[in-house]
Amino acid sequence: MMIDNRIRPIRTEQDYNAALARVEFLMETARTEVEDDELDVLATLIELYEDVCFPMDAPDPIAAIKFRMEQMGKSQSDLAPILGSRSKVSEVLSGKRALTLKMIRALHEHLQIPADVLIREGGTLPSATVGIDFDRLPLREMAKLRWIGPIADIKDRAEEIVLGLIERAGGRDALPQALFRQGGARSNSKMDLYALQAWCLHVLGQARAAGLEKQHRKGSINFEFLEEVARLSTFREGPKLAQEKLAQHGIALVVAPHLSKTYLDGAAMWTKEQVPVVGMTIRYDRLDNFWFCLLHELAHLGRHIPNGNGEVFIDDLQLRERDHAVDDAREREADAWAQDALIPAKLWNDHAARLHPSVANVVDLAHQAKVHPAVVAGRIRYERHSYRLLSQFVGANEVRPLLMAEVA
C-alpha cells in the first residue's frame, strides 16, 4: 500500500493534527533530503496556522519588566537610576504610575525590553502618541487654567497627564482629529502647535463632557440656520442664547481661553461620537468679533466638514486682513456665509451706513438686518480698516461675563 505524503494546506484542526503527527514521525526517523524539505515546509505551515488560530497575547509591560529583572538579577533599587527614583519604581511596578516615554526609552536601553512590549494599551503610553515631545506642552499654563489638576511633579508626569487629556477627548480615535490634523489654512505661522494640540484636546473633552441631550441631524447646519443664529444677536444675552440654541440642535459650543502662542479665535471639529463642535477663545471680548467668529465656524461645519471627516479648521481671524489671493477658498466661503447671514449682501451694498457710518445709519442698518449694532459697526471697521471707528458700538467686555463665568 502506498502512503500519500503529499503536503497539503492546513485548513482544519484535523489537518493540523495530521501535520503534527507527520512532523513527529519525521523527527524520529532518518530522513532523506526530500523529507528534510518536507519537514521544513510542514513546520512553516504549522507555525502559520498557530499564529492565526492560537495567537499569543503580548506580555504585560509590568510582567515583562519583572521577568527581565529576575533574569538579570536586578532589584527595585537597581531600577531607581533608570526610572528616576525608588518611589517611581514602586509606583510603576504596582501599576499606580503609567510608563512615560523617557521610562520606555530607558528600559529599552538598559534592560533590552522591546519598545513594542512596553507600549501597550492598558499598560502604558498609546503607540499613537510616540514621537510627541510631551515636555513642549504648556502643562503649567493648563494647570493654572484648571484644565488639569495641580500636580507637584508635573514635568515628570507629562505623558500621564496627556494620556488623561486624550482619554477625555475620546481616546486614540480622537487623537488624529485633535493632534495631527490641521485643515484650515487661516492659522498663524508663529503658532505653537503643541499649545494648539492641547487646546483642541481640551475642547473635545469639554464637548464630550457636556453630554448634549439632542442628537445632531447632519445637514441641518445650512445658511438658514446661520441666519437664525444671527438674529439672536439682538438680545442682551445673545451669546448665551446662541450656545443654548446650538445645544438644542446637537452642536457643542465650547469656550476655552486661548493658550500662549496659539493666536486663536475659533475652531470647528467633531467628536468621535459625531457631535459637531465650535470652539472659541473670546480672546477679543467684543460682540462683533463673537458673532462673526461663531457663524464663520458654523459655516465650516455646515459646508466643509458636514460629515465629521476628521479635519479640524483653526482660525486666527486677524489674518482676514492679509491678501485673499493666498487664503484658502474655504475660508473665503466661510467669511461670505458669516457676513451675509449677519447682513444680507444687497442690504449692505445699498445702505447709506456703508459709505456714511453715522450713529443713525448704524442703528438703522442694524434694525433692518435684525442684528445688534455691534455687528454693523464691526463690519464697517473691517471694511475701512479703521478700528478706532464706532468703538462705542462693538460691545466690548460683554461676551466673557456671559460665556466664561465658569471658565478659569
What would the pLDDT profile of 116-151 be if each residue is shown by its tens digit? 788 764 444 444 455 566 678 888 899 899 898 776
- The cell for 393 is 458700538
pTM over 0.85: no
User: Which three cell numbers, joined as nine digits, stand for 358?
Assistant: 453715522
DSSP H/E element including 116? helix 115-118
Predicted confidence at residue 186, as pLDDT, reads 64
Characterize 384-403 residue by residue with b for buried, 16 or more Cβ atoms within 10 angstroms of its Cβ, and e for exposed.
eeeeeebeebbbeebbeebb
| pLDDT at residue number 158 | 76
Number of neighbours of residue 109 by Cβ within 10 angstroms:
11
Alpha carbon of residue 368 to chain centroid: 41
On the 0-12 / 13-18 / 19+ scale of CB atoms within 10 A, 53 is exposed
Q: What's the confidence (pLDDT) of residue 345? A: 96
What cell numbers appear for 362 in the block? 448704524
* Cα–Cα distance for residue pair 320/327, rounded to 1 Å: 8
What pLDDT score does 327 carry?
A: 63
State which residues of the chain have pLDDT below 50: 1-4, 121-128, 176-184, 325-326, 408
Q: Quick one: pLDDT at residue 9?
A: 84
Angle formed by the axes of helices 86-93 and 76-83, nearest 10°: 110
In terms of Cβ atoms closer than 10 Å to its own Cβ (0-12, 13-18, 19+), residue 281 is buried
Which pLDDT value is given to residue 348?
97
Whole-number pLDDT of residue 127: 45
Give pLDDT, residue 237: 96
Encode pLDDT of 35-91 as tens digits.
888 888 888 888 888 777 766 566 688 888 998 888 888 999 999 998 888 888 888
Among 246, 169, 233, 273, which Cα is nearest to 377's?
233
Task: Please tell me the number of Cα atoms within 13 Å of 135 on its side-chain side.
Answer: 4
As beta bridge partners, residue 278 has 253, 268
End-to-end, the C-alpha distance of the chain in Å comes to 88
Which residue shows C-alpha cell 531607581? 80
pLDDT computed for residue 406 by the predictor: 54
- State residue 408's pLDDT score: 44
Give the residue carrying C-alpha cell 482629529. Answer: 177
pLDDT of residue 265: 95
